[in-house]
Amino acid sequence: MFKNKNPFVSGIAMLVLISIIMLLPLDKVITEQYFTSFQIEYIVLSTKMFLIFLSGLLLVKKLEEQALSGISTKYKWAFKYLNLIPIYLFILGISTFINKDLSSINSYNLSLLLIACLFVGFAEEFVFRGYLQSVFIKKFIERKDGILIGVMFPAVFFGASHLLNLTVNDNIPQVIGQSIYAVCIGFFFGVILLKTNKLIPIAITHGLINFFFLFGSLPNLTDNKNGYSEPTAELTLTEQILSSATPILFFLPLLIIGYIILNKMNKNEILNKINH
């Protein structure tokens, strides 16, 4: 199925594969006798993401489009400064815990969160940018809008993969919001891959963004002023929609920047990478 000439079939196959891996009941194997619920969650996440990353890596190798996928050693890392654009997301993530007491954080939990987030970055980038985007570009590159199609549809599949969070999160507006801003950042990363020639820096950036935004989920993270964290009140549907729409505004600039860069891209440079 992954070798099908129709990239949309490949995209659906990837979503099915990811769904199967993510729904594996690995948490039943690990006992809470030795690990906390937080540790179990992120050990399981790391394991599943490693399996997805391995699948993506094998598919990229099978595709034999190393240059297009961003793992070729023959192409230098170009326009490195473009990888710095999402740094403002790091700052936004850091700002959410700037007034927190970090002294009680368990170093093991911190390391586990970082490792899990990096695995997420590598898994999703190798699958959606390294493999799926290369498949779409090869199919549509000859069209006038071939690059746009080749980058946008993998980003849409990337966004669709986040709908799987509905199995563990009943906040529907939040999950839909995650899917929308995943499309935005997925499109940006897709353009940056074509421009910089390297996938791994993007995967690291992706992982660090997740890490800084999930830092607040660490156990024992308390407020400096009163020594405790306020309990989260249950939100109304309207409040859920508003709180889910706000993050989209932070990711929308990446979509716009990516589109501007894409419009200035030389198609011949991409054609030269195909079957290089």
Rounded distance between C-alpha atoms, residue 181 and residue 187, angstroms: 10
pLDDT at res. 228: 47
Per-residue CA distances from 261 to 109, 118, 144, 201 (Å): 38, 26, 16, 18
The number of residues in the chain equals: 276
The neighbouring-strand residues paired with 100 are: 223
State the residue for tokens 């959410």.
96
Q: Which pLDDT belongs to residue 170? A: 82
Would you state the pLDDT for residue 262?
A: 97
Q: Residue 104's pLDDT is what?
A: 84
- Sequential DSSP letters for 11-44: HHHHHHHHHHHHT--GGGTS-TTTS-HHHHHHHH
- Reported as a single tens digit per residue, the pLDDT across 167-201 is 888 888 889 999 999 999 999 999 999 999 999 99
Using CA atoms, how far residue 20 sits from 55, 61, 164, in Å, is 12, 22, 10
Q: Which helix (H) or strand (E) holds 201?
A: helix 200-214
Query: At 223, which helix (H) or strand (E)?
Result: strand 222-223
Q: What mean pLDDT do residues 96-114 have?
A: 88
> What's the whole-number mean pLDDT along residues 134-151?
95
Half-sphere exposure of 212 (CA within 13 A, CB side): 17
Residue with more model confidence, 261 or 101: 261
pLDDT at 135 (0 to 100): 97
d(CA 10, CA 109) in angstroms, rounded, equals 36
| The amino acid at 143 | R
Which tokens sit at 160? 């669709």
pLDDT on residue 124? 98
- All residues at 6 or more sequence positions from 79 whose CB lies less than 8 Å from its CB, including other chains: 195, 196
Is pLDDT at 30 greater than 60 in this prediction? yes
Span 35-59, pLDDT tens digits: 999 999 999 999 999 999 999 999 9
Does the pLDDT at position 5 exceed 60? yes
pTM (2 d.p.): 0.91
Chain centroid to CA 167? 18
- As a whole number of angstroms, the distance between CA 202 and CA 270 comes to 18
% of residues, the chain, pLDDT over 90 = 71
Q: Are strands 222-223 and 100-101 parallel, antiparallel or unpaired?
A: antiparallel
Please write the tens of the pLDDT for every residue from 201-243.
999 999 999 999 999 889 877 665 554 445 555 767 677 777 7
pLDDT at 66 over 80: yes
pLDDT computed for residue 243 by the predictor: 75
